[in-house]
């Protein structure tokens, strides 16, 4: 088990960085600061693809976060090589994200690449992608999964 007593740098990744990964970023940041009272953590999110770079999160994601009083302040960006040196953990939302992250990784890096759902006590491995939904129900599901996984990840570090 890793030493969780000091802050870590965590980067969440999804395909476009406007739905799942900014939700994961916001929820994780909220759990770290508000629920656990931890300091010294750096949290960010990024995309595999470049389609949405510079854009705000999906409005449905923003609305779900507002309903839960969780601040969300992010503009989409793409995963870059320097992230593998800067972050302790690079966490993907699904198996395709993990494959793409590993394919983009430099030959030598210290970042731990993991599937966020592997920390879900309810064992839902894949974080729900709500992008093509007509309503916000998928965003609510994504929020719930990210909340459970955030707690599970921190519990695994004993913080």
C-alpha 144/C-alpha 40 separation (Å) is: 25
| pLDDT single digits (tens) 17-67 | 999 999 999 999 999 999 999 999 999 999 999 999 999 999 999 999 999
Q: In the chain, what are the domains? A: 9-106+123-156 (3.40.50.2300)
Q: What is the CA radius of gyration of the chain?
A: 14
How far apart (Å, rounded) are the C-alpha atoms in residues 153 and 132?
Answer: 28
The catalytic site residues sit at 14, 20, 129
pTM to 2 decimals? 0.95
The span from the CA of 138 to the CA of 146, in Å, is 12
């Amino acid at each position: 088990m890793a030493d969780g007593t000091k802050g870590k740098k965590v980067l969440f990744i999804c395909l476009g960085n406007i739905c799942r990964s900014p939700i994961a970023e916001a929820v994780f940041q909220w759990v770290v600061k508000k629920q656990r009272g931890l300091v010294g953590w750096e949290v960010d999110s990024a995309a595999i693809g470049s389609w949405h770079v510079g854009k705000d999160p999906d409005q449905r994601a923003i609305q779900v976060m507002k309903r839960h009083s969780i601040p969300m302040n992010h503009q989409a960006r793409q995963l870059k090589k320097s992230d593998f040196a800067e972050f302790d953990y690079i966490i993907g939302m699904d198996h395709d994200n993990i494959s793409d992250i590993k394919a983009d990784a430099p030959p030598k890096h210290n970042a731990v690449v993991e599937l966020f759902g592997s920390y879900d006590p309810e064992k839902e491995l894949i974080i729900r992608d709500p992008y093509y939904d007509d309503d916000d129900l998928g965003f609510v599901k994504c929020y719930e999964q990210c909340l459970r996984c955030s707690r599970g990840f921190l519990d695994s570090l004993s913080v």
